[in-house]
């Protein structure tokens, strides 16, 4: 599953896979290079012209940096247009800031207007927010420097250079899209192989430590994140550019199945260890054979050798024969045999998918295929949001927070009163709930305090050495943006160090009082942003999390109904892998939104939230296992069970709807149904697992588990349970 050199060099594989697709490296690199080239080109022009000020070069660098970091359009073409149009917004900002600088009142009104507009108009097109961002920064700099009209042409030139280099590095030198997708797939394969290595060690060793178990679980979690990352980057045009003949839907399914395979293997191997099943030498040999052969396959390699997957096919066939032998030789099969059936099923499915991919790659005749629409969710509707639009709410919150920031700014820091405004603006960015605003404000404040200490010490240490100081300045810029999606605290730390270097370069020295003032301004600005989010049209964290659960249940319902419907009619289920990825993203969003509630002190914590997240994680785990089953062909349906399947669909729809309403507080009670009666009929009517080509009971196992979890949650929230029978069933 990728280049295997890292199989023996574990540390090298870990480094190579640490940044999927090198997205963070590329974005931080582009921003830093744009900054460097903008600054030095403008400095060169200023030197040739004999203009002594360096501030136009700083503006050029800022525009070059911001024009890469804040462009958020969906398509490359839209990003190109936005980048070019940002020059107009920057020129307007620098001009209006210069004109308004004669009166502090004018500057305040202008800043508040720009911030409000950035949030408000983002509901129409995301590029308006980008315009607002660069407009605010140019107003901020222009008003701070108190530029006069005569100086403005130099700053216009700096803006043009910044935009030019941003466009050059973003769209010509470093191309996104296809290259990132290819690198992302490579990182995904490397991470899968590193996890396979750990599994091989666990299978071979007689005992497994708790530390090794935790490491395996951590690696599987990382692989799931990489799978989401690749799925987000998938675009049909990019897929055809890298792998002609291959469809995005095929690649998405392959990524999903591979991630599921690794997760299933990890879970099953742990359970087999606990049940002493791996004491059986033949079983241990077969599992090692399977894992090693999968690790060494290179499915997307251009020089693919058919023998790459032959070993894996042989291993699965051997496992299937061994499984049949275990079943035939025992009147009562071992309880762990269902784990072997799970492994055999998912491995076989991954191999079939990989074989189809290779067939598509090597049979491609150069014709352009139509986009595969089956992977997209059908009947996608955009529903009107009740109440005030989220962008309007955020605009009003920003209006209040920034107005107070300006007042307090003149009281606390009359020389540089707008730093509090800047902090409030940044903390409100991308924070939809009170909890997220609190987390971001805390991270920014902590990072600023630590960054001020290190920045002050380092700036004083290198003060007077211009070349070294500028080099360090560019280094901290790179790390600030490289770590942006990893740790906002680290980003704030490096940004504060950057400010320390800038102060030392521009002001000829830095004092602890000056940097201390910036720390106080940051804390005050964060507090004002939090206050506005909490008291001005607040979106409570609990409500945001409940909404997330509801959206997940909505997608889960569609997922389950499509799956069950296939047992009684010819239903297209090729979109299930896309739905599964979407559900995975939604669950991750819930975890992020719930962070502030989960991490509170125990006496303030929302008691049931951790339990809800745990149960939904289990539901998601069960739901993912349905995808491989849904793609199996030649399934023999049982006519007499048609009414049973209809009943299952009705109950699943009712149960997910009821749980959603209970979690959002729309209802205090309701009725949910178990599927015990349906399960009993299926187990009585379904063909025997020893003779049937396809095991119906096995296909429906996770449906029972999902519904059971939904019923337990709904009952805990006040729902009545019907059709409940005190009866136990075999989980195998």
Question: Regarding predicted confidence, which is higher, 397 or 102?
Answer: 397
Confirm if 400 and 532 have CB atoms less than 8 A apart. Answer: yes
pLDDT of residue 85: 94
Residue 25 has pLDDT above 90, yes or no: no
At 689, is the pLDDT very low, low, confident or very high (cuts 50, 70, 90)? very low
Q: How far apart (Å, rounded) are the C-alpha atoms in residues 495 and 444?
A: 10
Q: Looking at the DSSP assignment, which residues form a beta bridge with residue 673?
A: 722
Segment 275-286 mean pLDDT: 82
Residues 6+ apart with CB under 8 A from 222: 191
Question: Regarding predicted confidence, which is higher, 33 or 729?
Answer: 33
Query: If you classify domain 177-364 with CATH, what class do you get?
Result: mainly alpha
Segment 111-138 mean pLDDT: 92
Tokens 């090729």 belong to 574
A 10 A CB-CB count for 477 gives 22
pLDDT of residue 4: 46
At 584, is the pLDDT very low, low, confident or very high (cuts 50, 70, 90)? confident
Question: Regarding predicted confidence, which is higher, 8 or 215?
Answer: 215
Residue 88 has pLDDT above 60, yes or no: yes
Q: Looking at the DSSP assignment, which residues form a beta bridge with residue 23?
A: none
Q: Of 369-373, 473-477, 505-509, where does mean pLDDT reach its minimum?
A: 369-373
**Average pLDDT value over all residues in the chain:** 80
Question: Regarding predicted confidence, which is higher, 275 or 408?
Answer: 408
Segment 40-56 mean pLDDT: 90
pLDDT of residue 651: 92
pLDDT of residue 318: 86
Q: What is the pLDDT of residues 287-326, one digit of tens each?
A: 888 888 888 776 666 555 666 677 778 888 888 888 777 7
At 730, is the pLDDT very low, low, confident or very high (cuts 50, 70, 90)? very low
pLDDT of residue 695: 59
Cα distance from N-terminal residue to C-terminal residue, the chain: 31
At 385, is the pLDDT very low, low, confident or very high (cuts 50, 70, 90)? very low
Residue 103 has pLDDT above 50, yes or no: yes
Q: What is the pLDDT of residues 529-564, one digit of tens each?
A: 999 998 998 888 888 888 889 999 999 998 888 888
Give 6's Cβ-side CA count (13 Å radius). 24
Q: Looking at the DSSP assignment, which residues form a beta bridge with residue 671?
A: 720
Residue 241 has pLDDT above 80, yes or no: no
pLDDT of residue 629: 61
Q: What is the pLDDT of residues 415-462, one digit of tens each?
A: 778 888 988 988 988 888 888 888 889 988 999 888 888 888 888 888
Tokens 């095929």 belong to 250
Q: What is the pLDDT of residues 482-508, one digit of tens each?
A: 888 778 888 888 888 888 887 777 767
Question: Regarding predicted confidence, which is higher, 690 or 84?
Answer: 84
- Tell me the two tokens of residue 202: 């666990």
Q: What is the pLDDT of residues 55-69, one digit of tens each?
A: 899 899 999 998 988
pLDDT of residue 259: 83
Tokens 């507080």 belong to 665
At 20, is the pLDDT very low, low, confident or very high (cuts 50, 70, 90)? low
pLDDT of residue 575: 63
The CA-CA-CA angle for residues 14, 588, 232, to 5°, reads 70
Segment 222-233 mean pLDDT: 80
- Tell me the two tokens of residue 562: 């499509």
Q: Of 101-105, 219-223, 358-362, where does mean pLDDT reach its minimum?
A: 358-362
Confirm if 536 and 438 have CB atoms less than 8 A apart. Answer: no
Q: What is the pLDDT of residues 592-626, one digit of tens each?
A: 888 877 776 554 556 678 888 888 888 888 887 77
**660 CB burial (10 A radius; 0-12, 13-18, 19+):** buried
Residue 581 has pLDDT above 50, yes or no: yes
Q: How far apart (Å, rounded) are the C-alpha atoms in residues 111 and 113?
A: 5
pLDDT of residue 375: 41
């Amino acid at each position: 599953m990728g280049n295997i050199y890292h199989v023996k060099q574990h540390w090298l594989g870990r480094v190579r896979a640490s940044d999927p697709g090198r997205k963070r490296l590329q974005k931080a690199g582009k921003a830093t290079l744009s900054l460097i080239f903008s600054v030095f080109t403008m400095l060169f022009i200023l030197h040739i012209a004999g203009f002594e000020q360096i501030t136009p070069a700083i503006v050029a660098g800022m525009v070059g940096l911001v024009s890469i970091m804040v462009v958020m359009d969906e398509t490359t073409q839209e990003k190109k247009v936005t980048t070019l149009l940002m020059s107009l917004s920057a020129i307007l900002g620098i001009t209006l800031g210069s004109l308004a600088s004669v009166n502090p009142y004018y500057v305040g009104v202008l800043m508040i207007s720009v911030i409000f507009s950035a949030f408000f108009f983002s509901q129409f097109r995301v590029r308006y927010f980008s315009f607002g961002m660069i407009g605010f920064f140019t107003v901020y700099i222009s008003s701070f420097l108190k530029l006069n009209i005569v100086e403005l042409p130099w700053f216009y030139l700096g803006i043009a250079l910044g935009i030019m280099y941003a466009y050059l590095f973003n769209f010509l030198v470093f191309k996104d899209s296809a290259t990132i997708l290819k690198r992302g797939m490579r990182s995904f394969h490397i991470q899968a192989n590193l996890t396979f290595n750990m599994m091989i060690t666990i299978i071979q060793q007689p005992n497994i430590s708790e530390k090794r178990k935790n490491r395996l679980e951590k690696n599987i979690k990382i692989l799931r994140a990489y799978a989401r990352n690749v799925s987000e980057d998938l675009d049909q045009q990019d897929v055809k550019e890298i792998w002609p003949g291959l469809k995005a839907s095929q690649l998405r399914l392959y990524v999903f199945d591979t991630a599921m395979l690794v997760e299933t293997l990890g879970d099953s191997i742990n359970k087999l260890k606990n049940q002493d099943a791996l004491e059986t030498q033949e079983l241990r040999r077969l599992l090692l054979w399977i894992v090693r052969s999968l690790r060494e396959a290179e499915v997307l390699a251009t020089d693919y050798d058919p023998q790459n997957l032959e070993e894996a096919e042989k291993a699965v066939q051997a496992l299937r024969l061994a499984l049949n032998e275990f079943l035939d030789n025992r009147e009562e099969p071992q309880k762990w045999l269902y784990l072997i059936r799970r492994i055999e099923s998912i491995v076989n499915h991954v191999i079939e998918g990989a074989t189809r991919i290779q067939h598509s790659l090597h049979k491609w005749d150069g014709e352009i295929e139509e986009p595969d629409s089956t992977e997209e969710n059908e009947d996608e509707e955009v529903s009107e949001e009740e109440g005030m639009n989220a962008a309007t709410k955020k605009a009003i919150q920003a209006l209040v927070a920034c107005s107070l920031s300006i007042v307090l700014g003149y009281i606390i820091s009359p020389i540089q009163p707008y730093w509090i405004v800047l902090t409030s603006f940044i903390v409100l960015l991308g924070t939809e709930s009170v909890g997220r605003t609190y987390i971001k404000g805390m991270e920014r404040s902590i990072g600023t305090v630590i960054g001020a200490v290190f920045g002050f010490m380092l700036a004083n240490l290198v003060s007077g050495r211009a070349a070294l100081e500028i080099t360090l300045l560019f280094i901290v810029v790179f790390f600030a943006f490289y770590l942006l999606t990893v740790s906002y605290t680290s980003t704030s730390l490096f940004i504060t160090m950057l400010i320390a270097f800038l102060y030392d370069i521009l002001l000829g020295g830095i004092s602890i009082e000056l940097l201390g003032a910036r720390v106080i301004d940051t804390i005050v600005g964060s507090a004002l942003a939090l206050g506005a989010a909490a008291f001005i049209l607040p979106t409570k964290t609990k409500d945001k999390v409940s909404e997330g659960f509801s959206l997940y249940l909505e997608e889960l319902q569609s997922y389950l109904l499509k799956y069950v419907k296939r047992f009684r009619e010819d239903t297209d289920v090729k979109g299930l892998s896309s739905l599964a990825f979407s559900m995975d993203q939604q669950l991750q969003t819930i975890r992020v939104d719930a962070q502030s509630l989960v991490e509170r002190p125990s006496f303030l914590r929302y008691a049931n939230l951790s339990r809800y997240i745990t149960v939904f994680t289990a539901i998601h785990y069960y739901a993912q296992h349905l995808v491989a089953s849904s793609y199996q062909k030649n399934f023999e349906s049982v006519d007499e069970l048609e009414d049973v399947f209809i009943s299952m669909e009705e109950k699943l729809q009712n149960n997910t709807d009821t749980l959603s309403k209970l979690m959002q507080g729309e209802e205090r009670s309701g009725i949910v149904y178990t599927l015990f009666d349906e399960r009993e009929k299926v187990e009585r009517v379904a063909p025997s697992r020893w003779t049937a080509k396809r095991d119906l009971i096995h296909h429906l196992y996770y449906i029972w588990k999902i519904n059971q979890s939904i019923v337990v949650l709904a009952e805990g929230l006040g729902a009545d349970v019907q059709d409940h029978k005190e009866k136990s069933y075999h989980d195998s």
